[in-house]
Amino acid sequence: MKLRHAMVCASNQNRSMEAHALLRREGFDVSSYGTGAHVKLPGPSLREPNVYEFGTPYKQMFDDLRRKDPELYKRNGLLPMLKRNSSVKLAPQRWQENAADGSFDVVFSFEERVFDMVVEDLHNREHALMKTVLVINLDVKDNHEEAAVGARLALDLCKELEAAESWDDTIDEIVPAFERQHRRKLLYSISFY
């Protein structure tokens, strides 16, 4: 059974895109989203983050940052990240506005706050399809290294889910097994489309 996956983090830049890129490489059906109000990227200081609207192409952000301070953004990994992102898809997408993308089978979030927002959002949508969706949270700190680790974990878990004939029957085994194996704590919930 081919599952549709969604990777969700706050800005649809680092964690979700890392996982998106990885899963896509592995041949999964995957999309990615952010739940924030805007796409925020670190700026030269706390006071000046770079804020973009969802839907702004990664390429455009890339050019923007490169224009502002190529050295800084290269060093903190933003430019490489944006470059990677632009090779995956056009622009960051917002979870709350993804109704048109159809239903997903598995939604992966990388932060509890994001998880809450996804669950709440799903809860507030109309449940017309009677289709279950598994929402899983894996806490991943928002930096490049951890994102890579998190993406691999997500991939592992997605593989297991994909391998199961029907994840909703086995999720109660898969998750604890995963937690034991990777010593990571998962949150999950089941929602409906």
Partner 1 sequence: MVGVMASCPRDKALSLFNSAKFSIEIPSKLEPLRQLQEIVVYRDPTLLVEFVPHLMELQSEHFSPIRKFLAEMIGEIGLKHRQFLPEMVPVLISFLKDDTPAVAKQAITTGTNLFRSTLEDVALQALPDSLRESSWTCMLNFKEAVYPVAFQSGSEGVRSLAVRFVEATILLFTPDPNASSRPVPPEGGGKSEGFSISWIQGGLPLLAAADLALEASKNLGMLLDLLRSPSVRGLPYSVIFVLINSLSTIARKRPAFFGRILPVLLVLDPSTVVIKGALVSNWRDRLVNALKSLNAGDSSERALGQFDNVPGNLNHQTGDPHAPKDGTLSMHVSDATPIDAGRKRSVAEDAGDLAHGDDISGKRVRHVALVSQESPMQVIQPSPEKSQESSPLNMAQSSTGDGESGPVQQLVAMLGALVAQGESAVNSLEVLITSISSDLLAEVVIYNMRFLPSTRPSPESGEEETLTSCNISFLISNASAEIKQLSGTEHTMSLLSALPQIASLLDMKPLPSSSSADLTEERKPPIPMDLSIPASNTSTTDVAVLPRDAPASSIVPISDEEVNQLAVLETIEVGALQTGIPGLDDVPSVEELKEALDSSLSSSVDLVSGSSAKQESSSDHMSYDKSEALSPRASSGDMSWASSTASAPIVLPSSYLLQKVPPLVVALTDEQKDHIQKLAYVRIIEAYKQIAIAGGLNVRFSLLAYFGGECPLEFDSLGLLQRHILADYLNHEGHELTLHVLYRLYGEAEREQDFVSSSSASSTYEIFLLTVAETLRDSLPAADKSLSRLFGEVPYLPKQALKMLESLCSPGNGKDGKDLQAGDRVTQGLSAVWSLILSRPPIRDLCLNIALQSTVHHMEEVRMKAIRLVANKLYPLSFISQKIENFATEMLRSVVNGNAGGESTNIDRSNLSGGQIDSTEGVPKGGQLLKEAGLATADISSNINDSSSAKTLSSSSISEAQRCMSLFFALCTKKRSLLREIFLNYGSAPDAVKQAVHRHIPILIRTIGSSPELLSILSDPPTGSESLLMQVLHTLTDGTIPSPDLIYTVKRLYDSKLKDVGILIPIVSSLPKDELLSLFPQLVDLPLEKFKAALVRILKGSPNMGPVLTPAEVLIAIHEIDPERDGIPLKKVTDACSACFEQRVVFTQQVLAKVLNQLVEQIPLPLLFMRTVIQTIGSFPALVDFIMDILSRLVSKQIWKYPKLWVGFLKCAFQTKSYNVLLQLPAAQLENALTRTPALRQPLVAHANQPNIRSSLPRSTLVVLGLAQDTQSSSQAQPSLSSADAGTSNTQALTDTTKEAKTVG
Residues in the site for partner 1, rule: CB under 8 A?
1, 10-11, 13-14, 37, 40-49, 76, 96, 111, 113, 116-117, 119-121, 123-124, 126-132, 139-143, 165-169, 171-172, 175-176, 179, 185-192
Beta-bridge partner residues of 189 = 135
Name the amino acid, one letter, at 116.
Answer: D
Rg (CA), the chain: 17
* CB proximity list for 153: less than 8 A, separation 6 or greater: 138, 182, 184
- Residue-wise over 8-37: b if at least 16 C-beta within 10 A, else e? bbbbbbbbbbbbbbbbbeeebebbbbbbbe
- CB closer to partner 1 out of 22 and 119: 119
- CB closer to partner 1 out of 48 and 63: 48
Two structure tokens written together for 82: 């944006």
Closest approach, Cβ 31 to partner 1, in A, equals 20
Closest approach, Cβ 33 to partner 1, in A, equals 14
- CB closer to partner 1 out of 63 and 169: 169
Cα 39 to Cα 49, 65, 92, 183, distances in angstroms: 10, 14, 8, 31
Closest approach, Cβ 129 to partner 1, in A, equals 7
- CB closer to partner 1 out of 49 and 57: 49
Closest approach, Cβ 26 to partner 1, in A, equals 23
- CB closer to partner 1 out of 62 and 188: 188
- For CA atoms 185, 181, 26, 81, the dihedral sign is positive
Closest approach, Cβ 138 to partner 1, in A, equals 12
